[in-house]
Amino acid sequence: MVLDDFMMVDVGLIAPMATNPRKRFDEAALVELTSSIKDHGIIQPLVVRGTVHGFDLVAGERRWRCAQRAGLELVPCILKELTDLQVAEIQLIENIDRHQLSPLEESAGVCRLVELGMDPEMVASKLARSDEWVQLRLHLPSLPESAKQALDDGRMGLGGAGQLLRVDVAERDEAVQLLMELEGHLTEAAVADLLRSRYHEPRRRRAAWEKLGAVSAQKYGERSAAVTDVETSYEYVQPWGAGVGHWVPTDDEVGGLSRHPAESIISWGELADQHEVPTLLVCAGEVLAENVVEVVDKRIIVDAERALREQGKTCTLGPRKQSAEIEVESEQDEAEESFEQMVCRHIMAALELRHDDEQLAELLVPVLEVIAERN
């Protein structure tokens, strides 16, 4: 046998190689090629390399299959002495040039070349493709099986697969499940929109929140601890009313900015300091220093104030004063309180006892606001 020379080979001595990246063959195309071979024979020789028992089929598997269907006993071949790396290179280049490979088949071929020692940059050069083209196919095997199936059957394109690869490996199975619930073709834009809102944006917010940690610690001191994950802030605060900066607790059980303007004569933060109650730092909106809100479980403070009252000691909960300073009232001062102050005190006591009663709040808060305006 002469290498790199044309020769006729018994079709039964040729065996296809498992390394061929092309795994699927269109039946209609095989029928058409078989008919052509019956009429005109095989025009382009197959590429083979010698083995102990025959020949490995390096390139031309479609022609070999159709030659068998057409009943040919001998097929034209070019015999080459090739390494495994050279075989993988030829197989991939031939199939890519003919646009006959699916993305996953291209991926298998590219990964094979890298496994055999070819640098990704050299793969890109050999295939006349960009580095990004090669890198994307090197990472396709890490996709969940359901994503590979969607890519294989055409429901998801390479653009969508690339977007999915940007998601952390631990989150990809969940991400694919969410994508599979979408109707229609998973375009790159559709995949990007879902992944951005569910994964990329929260990841960006978490990174920004971690950077704010040191700044927040200096501002609020040791009494405050920041929530670990900024996304859990929404368990504590939500937008309310008009204008930036109006944030209130979702269940009125924590205090940032008070829902009721006349609810206390000092801030909840000051009360937390007075009773040594730990507070929590959360984020009200975009992750910026000015949106960091200190919240405290109001029930702890209310209980502490109630304990002081039962002991006959001065407590600080009551109607809001015009002065920023806390006025310490003695029992004699309480006896001389005005009618408006007495009304406010009783209303506040009712709101404290029935803090979950929205109807009661709607009835009593306007009264407090009127009294505050008059005073």
Burial grade of 254 (CB within 10 A; 0-12, 13-18, 19 or more): buried
pLDDT, position 265: 39
CA distance 51 to 65: 20
How far is the C-alpha of 265 from the C-alpha of 372, rounded, in Å?
A: 11
Using CA atoms, how far apart are residues 255 and 51, in angstroms rounded to an integer? 80
- What's the burial of 7, exposed, middle or buried (CB within 10 Å: 0-12/13-18/19+)? middle
Q: What is the pLDDT of residues 38-90, one digit of tens each?
A: 988 898 899 999 888 899 999 889 899 999 999 999 999 999 989 999 999 88
- For the segment 162-186, the average pLDDT, to the nearest whole number, is 89
Closest by alpha carbon to 116, among 85, 143, 144, 92?
Answer: 85
Complete DSSP assignment for 237-290: EEE-SSSTT-EEESSSSEESS-SSTTSBSS-HHHHHHHHT--EEEEE-SSS-GG
> What's the CA angle centered on 69, arms 66 and 70, to 5 degrees?
85
In this prediction, residue 139 carries a pLDDT of 95
The model's pLDDT over 262-304, given as tens digits with 9 standing for 90+, comes to 343 356 666 777 788 888 788 777 888 877 777 777 777 778 8
Going by pLDDT thresholds of 50, 70 and 90, the confidence category of residue 319 is very low
pLDDT at residue 67, rounded to an integer: 94
* Residue predicted with more confidence, 189 or 216: 189
Neighbour tally for 349: CB within 10 Å: 14
Q: Mean pLDDT throughout 159-171?
A: 91
**Residue numbers annotated as active site:** 61
Q: Structure pTM?
A: 0.55
